[in-house]
Structure 1
């Protein structure tokens, strides 16, 4: 299929219009195919308070839960293909404190697919002393449901998975991901705890009265010194285009064809959600990637207003990075807008 440029331009105009309506202060947007980026743009403001600052093509964003798939899940896939870990390893093989009802049956697969039985969220920064203590807390916490009977998204799964990968790799996630993912893919603007000031602002800090800039927005991630398997990664649209280019080309000499197929398969269709390894997969349910994206397409979102979707069948990907939590997380217009934007981009595809 070909791209109708006027329709694609219309999709990008939607982002500008959303900024004018106050859906988010600014955005970086990209649409690409197997042979490269079709169009990218930087719009609006990276910060509104205390000073209004423009968005640029180099502005770095707090990716929030895109961390799970760009960093942690990718590192898992690489370690699995090196023979260092298996999807069906028991979690208690790596974490001796992982004990309690049903815990002996929980595998890495359950962490990857959010079927382990964990609660969606708890304020570990209020309950624990530090990162190590938080991992012990999660290991001992009572499960909400029997594993593999439901699929309920939980940060706990990827906090534990990140910790396990750190044990295997012998370093913190920031070091491991830089070594195995970001440097090989030439993602030079991607990492934890970024330096510099060209960083999109997130929520206003109640204590300082200033926005978080370059500091992990997620409270638990911030408590872990900004480095975690569930949140804390920063990047920009140009780097994520490099990552998406690898994915739209089915792993292209980075993840094996069979590994890519397993990662993007819908493993939880009967459990109320559609999940691959880490990624959301388009099934017959509502998708942040849009209403007309292909079945089997995969993507993920981040709480701060970030998202990425890959439609291999139609050879197209979309990246939408916004700072929608600036100045407050109460602005939820991004949820509907993602679908509208995805539909508009996908409708630019036409038969030759």
Structure 2
């Protein structure tokens, strides 16, 4: 049933290609590719273990949240300290009260989005604008999902470590977890196996991050920029299911993951980095209706998603290039329905 739902998105014109992976803490139970990398049926067919996908906002959980986890583990960041402790320029106008935790759970008070690339011609000028961005509300009270929170977290990682974000994530997050096919800034030599995410003057664009703010930041940012294969995203999900352990290898301390996964009752749909289903609001949700209340996950603008359901020892990875010339009106809403139906089908098939 899940495969037919994934295929329906191609028939409806929501995305040209996709991969679906389902598994548990012990391994992958099902992995399959669908369609083609473009609408041209002569283009390559995606595969779970070799096709690279622009993860978009999955970068927030696979790159930035994981990097902050590592810094907390090493005693270099306290998530209840003010952000200005690590980024002194982020101060004044109520910003002094914003903590690292508030960036992680989107309660900083910052707006959802700011097109830095339109007014900032350089990375440095974009950062300066970000530091001056006023708060929309008092911090710590209301969650509003915002790319700006994770842009700041990416800068925080760089400031604390003295390394570019891409370097620290590669060496301290991806390599220890065995995620060898996850990277920022994909080389043009890998274009043949990279799913394109956009069309410019009739030409498919791939190997470049789709998010324009991330591109202004040099292709690696806290909110977007990672590319990965389906099997790497599945391995990351397995590591969370294993509470920091994968294939007998301890990647993170169990207690630290438990802290990041402990919900704040005032913010029912947010964990640290992750989102979770909110009771009574699942009819039109990408979580579907059948995943556990303790499930959590994330989605990405380009058409990516990962869900983790600890009570069922189940994960689902569904990666598409929805942003590549969709043939249906409001492809984002159409994909949300597919995501929810897919989650329910997986639970009905393997998760009960």
**TM-score, length basis structure 2:** 0.92
Counterpart of 2:95 (choices 99, 103, 107) is 103
* Deviation larger for 92-101 or 103-112: 92-101
Q: Count residues with an aligned counterpart.
A: 338
Counterpart of 1:190 (choices 182, 185, 198) is 182
1:270, CA displacement in angstroms?
2.7
The answer to whether the aligner puts 1:315 opposite 2:313 as a matched pair is yes
The answer to whether the aligner puts 1:239 opposite 2:232 as a matched pair is yes
Counterpart of 1:81 (choices 73, 81, 95) is 73
1:89, CA displacement in angstroms?
1.3
Check the 8 A contact 1:266/1:275 in 2, yes or no.
yes
Deviations 1:14-56 (A, max 9, x none): 1123212222111011000121110100110112369733223
Corresponding residue for residue 340 of structure 1: 341
The answer to whether the aligner puts 1:25 opposite 2:25 as a matched pair is no
Query: C-alpha distance in 2, partners of 1:47/1:170?
Result: 39
Q: Give the aligned CA root-mean-square deviation in angstroms.
A: 1.7
Corresponding residue for residue 331 of structure 1: 331
Counterpart of 2:295 (choices 268, 275, 297) is 297
The answer to whether the aligner puts 1:46 opposite 2:37 as a matched pair is yes
4+ runs deviating over 6 angstroms: none
Any gaps of 5 or more consecutive residues in structure 1? 1-9
The 5-angstrom pairing of residues 222-301 of structure 1 reads 222-252=215-245, 253-267=250-264, 269-271=265-267, 274-284=269-279, 285-286=281-282, 287-301=285-299
State the secondary structure of the residue aligned to 2:89: coil
> Per the alignment, do residues 110 and 34 of structure 1 end up closer, same or farther by CA in structure 2, a change over 3 Å counting?
same
Check the 8 A contact 1:266/1:281 in 2, yes or no.
no
Query: C-alpha distance in 2, partners of 1:288/1:39?
Result: 20
Query: C-alpha distance in 1, partners of 2:258/2:351?
Result: 26
Check the 8 A contact 2:9/2:335 in 1, yes or no.
no
Counterpart of 2:164 (choices 154, 168, 172) is 172
Counterpart of 1:131 (choices 104, 120, 123) is 123
Query: C-alpha distance in 1, partners of 2:322/2:143?
Result: 27
The 5-angstrom pairing of residues 213-228 of structure 1 reads 213-228=206-221
1:13, CA displacement in angstroms?
2.1
* Deviation larger for 46-55 or 298-307: 46-55
Any gaps of 5 or more consecutive residues in structure 2? none
Query: C-alpha distance in 2, partners of 1:78/1:217?
Result: 27
1:281, CA displacement in angstroms?
2.1
**TM-score, length basis structure 1:** 0.92
